[in-house]
């Protein structure tokens, strides 16, 4: 394993909300106030979750910078991020997937089936109305992601009253470490390939 001292500042961070966007009291919005450099992926129609359209907006945002980028996603935003990652959106280095919506609810299971090419952490809730915890575990396995059981937190949204959600921030730091190792590993492999081709 490649050992690195990873810092959040090494990455660009995109917040990827779900259906109807994230309200001011949602932990995603609170994190943006705590970390002003975090950017939100905006959608033209927050009430119309069309996977290909939302994923394209994510791609456009990622293309604005070559910096390795972490996605902090919630609900349908998780499916957006997974779909983008499986379709090789640029510069994505890792994903924190919190309370993903069940793909079957949106008839997009086939579009989000596959192992992710970047490190990912799925955070599930025991009483999430949008995805049963056993289904969240299943999808984490499909995506090759680490699964975290956050307990009974509903949909892990504003109604969960998490404040700044310090535990979630600790998971973000874990993702930073995993993603830094991934990026550094890719750099080493690129150097080896470049040297071998000379």
pLDDT tens digits for range 6-42: 699 999 999 999 999 999 999 999 999 999 999 999 9
The pLDDT, as a whole number, for residue 115 is: 98
CB 168 within 8 A of CB 120: no
Burial class of residue 186 in the structure, from the number of CB atoms within 10 Å of its CB (0-12 exposed, 13-18 middle, 19+ buried): middle
What is the mean pLDDT of the segment spanning 168-178?
A: 97
The pLDDT, as a whole number, for residue 6 is: 67
* Long-range contacts, stretch 29-34, CB < 8 angstroms, 24+ apart: 30/163, 30/164, 30/165, 31/72, 31/164, 31/165, 31/168, 31/169, 34/164
Going by the DSSP 8-state scheme, the letter that residue 78 receives in this structure is H
- Which fold would CATH assign to domain 10-193? Rossmann fold (3.40.50)
The pLDDT, as a whole number, for residue 186 is: 74
The pLDDT, as a whole number, for residue 198 is: 52
Q: Where are the domains of the chain?
A: 10-193
Q: In whole angstroms, give the CA distance from residue 40 to residue 23.
A: 12
The dihedrals phi and psi of 47, each to the nearest 5 degrees, come to -95, 5
What is the mean pLDDT of the segment spanning 170-189?
A: 87
Q: Over the range 59-86, which residues count as b (16 or more CB within 10 Å of their CB) and which as e? A: bebbeeeeebbbbbbbbbbbbbbbbbbb
Average pLDDT of the chain, as a whole number: 93
Q: Which two tokens stand for residue 146?
A: 């680490």
Helix (H, G, I), strand (E, B) or coil at 181: helix
pLDDT tier for residue 196 given thresholds of 50, 70 and 90 = very low
Residue 189: pLDDT above 70? no
Q: Which pLDDT tens digit goes with each residue over 96-123?
A: 999 999 999 999 999 999 999 999 999 9
Q: Over the range 94-119, which residues count as b (16 or more CB within 10 Å of their CB) and which as e? A: bbbbbbbbbbeebebeebbeeebebb
Question: Which pTM does this prediction carry?
Answer: 0.92
Which residues are within 8 A (CB) of 66 and not within 5 positions of it... i.e. 6 or more apart? 90, 91
Residue 5: pLDDT above 80? no
What is the mean pLDDT of the segment spanning 68-87?
A: 99
What is the mean pLDDT of the segment spanning 120-129?
A: 99
- In percent, the amount of the chain with pLDDT more than 90 equals 89
């Amino acid at each position: 394993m490649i050992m690195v001292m990873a810092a959040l500042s090494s990455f660009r961070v995109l917040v990827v909300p779900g259906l109807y966007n994230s309200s001011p009291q949602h932990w995603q919005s609170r994190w943006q106030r705590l970390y002003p450099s975090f950017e939100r992926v905006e959608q033209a129609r927050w009430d119309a979750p069309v996977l290909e359209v939302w994923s394209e907006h994510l791609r456009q945002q990622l293309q604005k910078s070559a910096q390795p980028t972490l996605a902090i996603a919630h609900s349908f935003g998780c499916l957006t991020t997974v779909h983008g990652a499986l379709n090789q959106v640029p510069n994505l280095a890792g994903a924190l997937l919190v309370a993903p919506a069940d793909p079957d609810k949106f008839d997009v299971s086939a579009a989000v089936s596959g192992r992710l090419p970047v490190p990912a952490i799925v955070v599930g809730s025991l009483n999430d109305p949008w995805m049963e915890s056993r289904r969240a575990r299943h999808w984490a396995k499909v995506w090759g992601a680490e699964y975290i059981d956050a307990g009974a937190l509903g949909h892990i949204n504003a109604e969960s009253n998490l404040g700044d959600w310090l535990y979630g921030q600790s998971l973000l730091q874990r993702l930073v470490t995993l993603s830094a190792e991934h990026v550094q590993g890719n750099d080493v492999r690129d150097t080896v390939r470049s040297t071998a081709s000379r």
